[in-house]
């Protein structure tokens, strides 16, 4: 027991309660230790808060001290999408979903975008699977046209793309799977198994051939790309002429309807055409010899024309000059009669006058004239005499064609100059 008024051993009487003397005589204060413990606790609490914030940002998609822009998007289906789900562009998180609602039968998704991320009004929206539990995230397909989307604006419903996830696939296959009869499906599978059993080599060959085909197509990818590019140009041209194609199809429909209304007439035409073809074939067969003869004769004619091409060309060249006097006579409204003055048969070297008792001047005895061509273009012994309204026999008309040509003979027969108008009617 301690007596009152006496200090405890090791403690001086009257000294402060918080002061102690250590082994080396140093004094330590109790409040300093308390402050140090407080500082350690504060540092630990701050580190815990920082780690908690980082974990919240990582797991809960929370953002701190970041300016964000709120946008909206109308979507046909927002199944599996909830608030705080990420918003991604090209696989990079650029924001998060803040709410999902309904407006006039379609979903309206409200989301925020980080500062510096701007999208255009042509941007499309869609959903993609976030995990196997059916959670989705909002995926943006940036557009390249149109102005930038203003803050608080909304993307229209027609820019919402369908979800291509497993759920959408199962929903699409639902009616098909419901309509499938299990017994019929089992029968089909058993038939396939029975058909494949024992044909492993054929199946392997089929797979090898498919691999060969794919390898070949892969080796000519440039050509395939060119074909696809050309096909794209063709389809683009057809799309630009859609109105004309529609008109063409309408006209074809009208023609087909008209032909369908005359079906019996078309049947009769086809039947008659068949009969005509048969008769023509019989006629050609019955007259095969005659046709061969005609073809041979035609071949001979063409050969003769080819051999005498120069003579024929020369005759056609001088034909206009020879017909000029007759054209001139008829152009004045007069008439003329043609009379044979000289008769020259093929192979003969002289021409016979039509009236031997009255031969023209310069003719041989009996009216025979010298052989053509004429020796003198101005008349004389080589001139031909004819009948006409003016001129004298044996005299050449001024401006007449050169002797020896068809024009000179016709002018001589007509008895008129080529450059003067006729003075009277021919006899």
pLDDT single digits (tens) 168-200: 677 777 787 788 888 888 888 888 888 888 888
Looking up tokens 């959408």 gives: 168
Q: 49-58, 109-118, 226-235, 290-299: which range is least confident on average?
A: 49-58
pTM for the whole structure = 0.34
The tally of domains found in the chain comes to 3
Q: 54-58, 85-89, 235-239: which range is least confident on average?
A: 54-58
Q: How confident is the model at residue 421 (pLDDT cuts 50, 70, 90)?
A: very low
Close Cβ partners of 121 (under 8 Å, ≥ 6 residues apart): 143, 146, 147, 148, 149, 153, 155
Mean pLDDT in residue range 301-322: 84
pLDDT of residue 377: 39
Where is pLDDT greater, at 300 or 343? 300
Same domain, 72 and 164: yes
The CA distance from 270 to 37, in Å, is 114
In a domain, 104, yes or no: yes
Average pLDDT, the chain: 75
In a domain, 127, yes or no: yes
The CA distance from 37 to 22, in Å, is 21
Mean pLDDT in residue range 251-280: 88
pLDDT of residue 245: 87
Same domain, 155 and 242: no
Angle 342-348-349 (CA atoms, 0-180°, nearest 5)?
A: 85
The CA distance from 81 to 136, in Å, is 5
On the question of pLDDT at 124 being above 90, the answer is yes
In a domain, 300, yes or no: no
pLDDT of residue 388: 37
In a domain, 136, yes or no: yes
On the question of pLDDT at 150 being above 80, the answer is yes
Mean pLDDT in residue range 138-159: 91
pLDDT of residue 426: 40
pLDDT of residue 282: 87
Could you say which of 252, 267, 299 is where a domain stops?
A: 252
Of the candidates 175, 174, 75, 63, the one whose C-alpha atom is nearest the C-alpha of residue 128 is 75
Mean pLDDT in residue range 223-239: 89
Same domain, 234 and 327: no
- DSSP assignments along 370-402, one per residue: PPSSPS-TTBGGGPPP---SS--TTBPPTTPPP
The residues pairing with 351 across neighbouring beta strands, listed in sequence order, are 369
In a domain, 142, yes or no: yes
**3 state SS of 58:** helix
pLDDT of residue 121: 92
pLDDT of residue 94: 92
On the question of pLDDT at 399 being above 70, the answer is no
Of the candidates 104, 120, 113, the one whose C-alpha atom is nearest the C-alpha of residue 71 is 113
Q: How confident is the model at residue 167 (pLDDT cuts 50, 70, 90)?
A: low
On the question of pLDDT at 160 being above 60, the answer is yes
- E strand spans, 283-362: 342-343, 352-353
The CA distance from 155 to 108, in Å, is 10
The CA distance from 372 to 177, in Å, is 107
On the question of pLDDT at 120 being above 60, the answer is yes
Same domain, 154 and 235: no
The CA distance from 361 to 383, in Å, is 8
Mean pLDDT in residue range 246-262: 89
In a domain, 211, yes or no: no
Q: How far is CA 29 from CA 38, 162, 229, 360, in A?
A: 15, 73, 89, 175
Q: How confident is the model at residue 336 (pLDDT cuts 50, 70, 90)?
A: low
Residues 109, 71 contacting (CB under 8 angstroms): no
Residues 76, 162 contacting (CB under 8 angstroms): yes
pLDDT single digits (tens) 71-90: 999 998 888 899 989 999 99
In a domain, 33, yes or no: no
In a domain, 356, yes or no: yes
| Domain extent at residue 111 | 68-169
Same domain, 148 and 80: yes
Q: How confident is the model at residue 122 (pLDDT cuts 50, 70, 90)?
A: very high
Using CB atoms within 10 Å of the CB of residue 383, give its burial: 0 to 12 exposed, 13 to 18 middle, 19+ buried.
buried
Q: How far is CA 373 from CA 114, 349, 384, in A?
A: 111, 10, 11
Phi-psi region of 148 (alpha: psi -120 to 50; beta: other; left: phi over 0): beta
On the question of pLDDT at 323 being above 50, the answer is yes
Mean pLDDT in residue range 39-48: 88
pLDDT of residue 406: 46
Classify residue 97 by its DSSP letter. E
Angle 301-305-307 (CA atoms, 0-180°, nearest 5)?
A: 115
Q: Which token pair is 420?
A: 């003067």
pLDDT of residue 38: 82
Q: 61-75, 76-90, 134-148, 217-231: which range is least confident on average?
A: 61-75
Mean pLDDT in residue range 413-423: 44
Q: How far is CA 61 from CA 55, 57, 125, 215, in A?
A: 9, 5, 20, 46
Same domain, 79 and 163: yes
Where is pLDDT greater, at 418 or 79? 79
């Amino acid at each position: 027991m301690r007596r009152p008024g006496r200090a405890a051993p090791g403690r001086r009487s009257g000294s402060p309660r918080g002061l102690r003397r250590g082994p080396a005589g140093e004094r330590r204060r109790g409040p300093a230790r308390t402050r140090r413990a407080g500082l350690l606790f504060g540092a630990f609490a701050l580190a815990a808060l920082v780690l908690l914030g980082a974990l919240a940002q990582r797991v809960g998609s929370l953002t701190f001290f970041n300016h964000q822009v709120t946008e909206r998007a109308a979507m046909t289906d927002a199944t599996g999408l909830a608030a705080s789900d990420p918003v991604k562009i090209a696989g990079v998180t650029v924001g998060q979903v803040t709410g999902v609602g309904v407006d006039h039968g379609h979903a309206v998704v409200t989301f925020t975008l980080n500062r510096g991320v701007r999208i255009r009004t042509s941007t499309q929206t869609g959903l993609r699977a976030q995990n196997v539990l059916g959670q989705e995230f909002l995926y943006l397909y940036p557009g390249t046209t149109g102005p930038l989307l203003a803050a608080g604006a909304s993307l229209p419903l027609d820019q919402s793309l369908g979800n291509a996830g497993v759920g959408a696939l199962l929903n699409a296959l639902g009616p098909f799977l419901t309509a499938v009869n299990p017994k019929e499906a089992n029968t089909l599978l058993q038939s396939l198994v029975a058909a494949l059993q024992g044909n492993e080599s054929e199946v392997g060959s089929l797979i090898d051939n498919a691999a060969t085909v794919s390898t070949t197509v892969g080796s000519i990818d440039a050509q395939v790309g060119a074909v696809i590019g050309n096909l794209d140009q063709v389809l683009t041209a057809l799309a630009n002429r859609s109105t004309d194609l529609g008109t063409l199809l309408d006209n074809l429909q009208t023609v087909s309807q008209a032909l369908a209304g005359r079906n019996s007439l078309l049947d009769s035409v086809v039947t008659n055409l068949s009969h005509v073809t048969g008769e023509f074939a019989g006629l050609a067969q019955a007259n095969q010899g005659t046709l061969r003869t005609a073809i041979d004769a035609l071949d001979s004619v063409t050969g003769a024309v080819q051999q005498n091409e120069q003579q024929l060309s020369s005759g056609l060249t001088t034909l206009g000059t020879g017909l000029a006097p007759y054209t001139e006579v008829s152009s004045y409204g007069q008439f003329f009669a043609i009379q044979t003055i000289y008769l020259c048969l093929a192979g003969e070297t002289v021409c016979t006058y039509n009236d031997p008792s009255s031969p023209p001047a310069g003719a041989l005895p009996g009216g025979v004239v010298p052989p053509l061509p004429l020796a003198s273009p101005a008349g004389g012994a080589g001139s031909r005499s004819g009948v006409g309204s003016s001129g004298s026999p044996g005299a050449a008309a001024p401006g007449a064609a050169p002797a020896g040509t068809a024009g000179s003979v016709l002018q001589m027969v007509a008895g008129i100059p080529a450059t003067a108008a006729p003075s009277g009617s021919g006899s």
